[in-house]
Amino acid sequence: MNNRIDAIYARQSVDKKDSISIESQIEFCKYELKGGSCREYTDKGFSGKNTDRPKFQEIIRDIKKGLIAKVIVYKLDRISRSILDFSGMMELFQQYNVEFVSSTEKFDTSTLMGRAMLNICIVFAQLERETIQKWVQDAYYSRSQRGFKMGGRPPYGFHSEPIKMDGINTKKLIANPDEVEHIRLIFEMYADPKTSYGDITRHFAQQGILFYGK
């Protein structure tokens, strides 16, 4: 089809000062097109770990309709950070004769070496995503083990107090003795097979003890 269009795809996970904006990504891609006409598809606030993104799904539908000749991205990891998803996407591109271009990474997908380099880059993109995810999990685990507040409203039985740790202002969870006793009693009552959830609720209501959200 001679009337197929070029498509720019841009994605930004979250609004961060060190994250390149959707607008900047599009400008890089337009420079690659050297002023040619195109259609823009943008997903803001979505991760590249999967394909559950509205505009990404739209671009796939338009490819299957035969509307797109070329897909341009700022960087490979903007369109995918999953080896499996990227492999399936490239098979679709080949099936519909769609060219894939990264404006900041030069891949010649017409050669074996170019396709190999493309696959190596997506491996590292997935590795980076999984490494960051592991760092975050480890950091949260470490904070929880030290009794630090993890964000949100403190659970019943605790309150947060500001502290300074390694020169950083943070908060730590401190047990409320009275509320801790309530929690202990709840477990004791629940352990009795004759006691229902309703019995526990009524007991505390009769005592004038209301929990969060009540």
Q: Which residues contact 48 (CB under 8 A, 6 or more apart)?
A: 11, 13, 77, 78, 79, 80, 81, 82, 125, 129
12: its two tokens = 């930004």
**Looking at this protein, which amino acid is placed at residue 70?**
K
pLDDT band at residue 2 using 50, 70 and 90 as cut-offs: low
Q: What are phi and psi of 40, to 5 degrees?
A: -100, 135
Q: What is the mean pLDDT of the chain?
A: 80
For residues 48-70, average pLDDT: 92
pTM: 0.56
For residues 112-139, average pLDDT: 69
- CA angle centred on 138, ends 132 and 140, rounded to 5°: 105
For residues 61-74, average pLDDT: 94
